[in-house]
Structure 1
Amino acid sequence: MKLHSVGEVAARLGVAPTTVRMWGERYGLTASERSAGGHRRFTADDVSLLDRFHRAVVAGESPMVAAGVLTGRKRSLSRGGGPGGAVLAVPGAGRISQGLARAASRLDGMAVEDAVVDALRSAGTVIVWDDVVRPLLVAAGEHWQRTGLGIEIEHLLTQAVSTAFVRHITELPKITRDRPVLLAGGPHEEHVLALYAVRAGLAEHGVPARLLGPRTPMTALAAASHRTRAPAVLIWMSVKDEAAEADLGLVTSTHRWMQLFLGGAGWDGVADPRVKVAVSLADAVTQLEAAWQARPRAGH
């Protein structure tokens, strides 16, 4: 009977060895055999089970539920969502979004995080953002506005998804730190999850980016641009801020080669020849990558 190491199983499934080990620790999907030296070894049946588990998670099922079904363990979590069994409704969503909605409704942040990471490995940031994450966040926000309930679901989603984007970047090949793009929320902007997505999308293209976070004063952003000689800066705002609009010149004047981009609904209607507007995540990644590629090289 042929036995397989953790590394061999990971290579076959297209995941990291640490992921296979985590599945064993978290969901009980462990190897059935051991080598003479005491190392875990997976049988053909073990590998088949892990393959079915992985496929189920990629298709949108919660890892906890998938593991329970495949191993024959009945879990109360598989029967409902959050309190009272209610599951966040995502009209027209695919299987992955529906699986995430179930996990989020029962506040299983780790399941959300793992499923998003798996989706990012398979489809990349732009597709996952547009087809999975964004519809789910919209549904969570609309549910809260309609009922006054579920803000904890939206908060958990934001935290889990932002962590998933960070994990995704750590799994990509290392990239240069030369002249990074700067990403920042406007002076009064609290929500910067979209910037985590932009940073991950840029990393997939080998473009370095630094995320300064929410509520970044324009003076601080200008100082950071001057210090790093950033070839491009993206400011995200979801709500209009006239003071920030008036201070755009602080950033555009930091150095000759810098290009300033604006993203988010807070910039709707802004017409300033000194800036460019990114209308989507894909557009932001494309424009920022082009600006970074056009940066002056050392010695210029």
Structure 2
Amino acid sequence: MELLSVGEVAARLGVSPSAVRVWGTRYGLVASARSEGGHRRYTPEDLALLQAVHEAVLSGTDPAAAAAAVRGIETADDVPALPRRRAGAGGTGLAVPGAGREARGLARAAARLDEMRAEDAVLAALRERGTLDAWDDVVRPVLIAAGAHWAATGSGIEIEHLLTQAVTTALIRHAAALPEPPPERPVLLAGGPQEEHVLPLYAARAALAEHGVPSRLLGPRTPMAALATAARRTRSAAVLVWLSRPDEAAADGLAEVAAAHRRVRVLVGGPGWGDVAPGPATAPADLAEAVTVLDRHWRGR
């Protein structure tokens, strides 16, 4: 029987690990097994219950009511069809299970298509928490909820678009307000040749700016030959190539980027690299690790 950690369950549900923990402490949806080392682990039945609750909450059911409906069920086959609550006439709701006050406020602003309020909410979180914490605990949960809402209902794509725009602008404003790093040996951030979605790179740029590390964001759909040229021209310390989906052209071009000059280091990030061998590149586990590696390499550590 496969046993899952909190992080593995969170990845399968598309939520943060903290959200899974909150469901346990607040609603009693705890792991029922333990590893040989005594750590709590989730069984397939636990995961099925959490999935049912998560889907119900995304459709508007109160989390406590959804949890109460599944509590005490022993097998995945017994999970009931949970009630879904329709959004009211005032607009589309955007549920963010287990999220904190800041994420809920951002979700409300996005659902109401209030771009300025959403932007201000993100900017306030960035200033209060720092980029990486704000990204993980405030921004990503709402982005995931917006995507899940569209996938489940076929509506609300306008929410996701507005939210992306608000987050992008807030990250630009936050980075611009920080002390300007020295220009030498900047880190280059680029989406792969077919990559349209580079919002995480805006977060990486802001996080690097907080560390005093210079960076240049080349944006989406960057040809690998052009990225290699940019690395040579700037004597870049490192390059981060982002993919949300597999892209063989990006994989094939990594060697050219790595050969741009002797000291450049190439990193890859995003779920698109999961099925593509990174070749000469390093693949950090997440955005926070990527920023740490880029920071250390730029400083020559």
TM-score scaled by structure 2? Answer: 0.69
Gaps of 5+ in 2: 1-86
Of 224, 227, 245 in structure 2, the residue corresponding to residue 239 of structure 1 is: 245
Q: Which amino acid aligns with 1:240?
A: P
Query: What's 1:184 paired with?
Result: 190
Pair 1:202 & 2:208 matched = yes
Q: Which amino acid aligns with 1:283?
A: E
After TM superposition, the runs of 4+ consecutive aligned structure 1 residues lying more than 6 A away are none
* Whole-angstrom CA distance in 2 between matches of 1:283 and 1:275: 14
Q: How is 1:57-72 mapped onto 2 (pairs within 5 angstroms)?
A: none
Query: What's 1:227 paired with?
Result: 233
Query: Larger radius of gyration, structure 1 or 2?
Result: 1
* Whole-angstrom CA distance in 2 between matches of 1:123 and 1:141: 24
* Whole-angstrom CA distance in 1 between matches of 2:96 and 2:117: 18
Q: Which amino acid aligns with 1:222?
A: A
- What's the secondary structure of 1:85's corresponding residue? coil
Query: What's 2:96 paired with?
Result: 90
- The Cα offsets for residues 174-226 of structure 1, whole Å up to 9 and x where unpaired, read as 22111110000000000000000000000000000000000001111111111
Query: What's 2:123 paired with?
Result: 117
- What's the secondary structure of 1:145's corresponding residue? helix
* Whole-angstrom CA distance in 1 between matches of 2:190 and 2:110: 27
287 and 82 in structure 1: CA distance in 2 versus 1, 3 angstrom threshold: farther
CA RMSD of aligned residues (A): 1.6
* Whole-angstrom CA distance in 2 between matches of 1:236 and 1:259: 15
* Whole-angstrom CA distance in 2 between matches of 1:210 and 1:243: 22
* Whole-angstrom CA distance in 2 between matches of 1:270 and 1:278: 14
- The Cα offsets for residues 13-35 of structure 1, whole Å up to 9 and x where unpaired, read as xxxxxxxxxxxxxxxxxxxxxxx
Deviation, 1:173, is 1.7
93 and 254 in structure 1: CA distance in 2 versus 1, 3 angstrom threshold: same
* Whole-angstrom CA distance in 2 between matches of 1:275 and 1:95: 38
Of 283, 288, 291 in structure 1, the residue corresponding to residue 294 of structure 2 is: 288
How many pairs align?
A: 215
Query: What's 2:28 paired with?
Result: none
Deviation, 1:237, is 0.2
Of 138, 149, 158 in structure 2, the residue corresponding to residue 143 of structure 1 is: 149
TM-score scaled by structure 1? Answer: 0.69
**Percent identical residues:** 61
Gaps of 5+ in 1: 1-80, 296-300
Deviation, 1:249, is 1.0
Do the aligned residues in 1 keep the contact of 2:246 with 2:275 (CA within 8 Å)?
Answer: no
- The Cα offsets for residues 263-283 of structure 1, whole Å up to 9 and x where unpaired, read as 001111444452101221210
155 and 128 in structure 1: CA distance in 2 versus 1, 3 angstrom threshold: same
Deviation, 1:291, is 1.2
